Amino acid sequence: MGNVINLNRFRKRAEREASAKQAETNRAKFGRTKAERSAEEKRKAQAKEHLDQHRIDREEQP
């Protein structure tokens, strides 16, 4: 006679493994390092500052 297998445990383990595999794929596809995120933030801030410096205010100031 074979071993008794708890089907709920088997199902949950299979779901966890599938979820872990999907998470690994997503990390590779969408993940960025902290250095990449901070560099992107710095670049955006510099671009915004550069744009603001070249803005022409057309409002009359009293």
pLDDT tens by residue, 8-31: 999 999 999 999 999 999 988 888
The whole-model pTM stands at 0.48
Query: For residue 59, what is the DSSP state?
Result: S
Rounded CA separation 14/21 (Å): 11
If DSSP codes are grouped into helix, strand and coil, which group holds residue 38? helix
Identify the pLDDT of residue 33: 86
Rounded CA separation 37/44 (Å): 11
**pLDDT digits 0-9 by tens, 33-46:** 889 989 999 999 99
Rounded CA separation 17/23 (Å): 10
Q: Quick one: pLDDT band at residue 56, thresholds 50, 70, 90?
A: confident
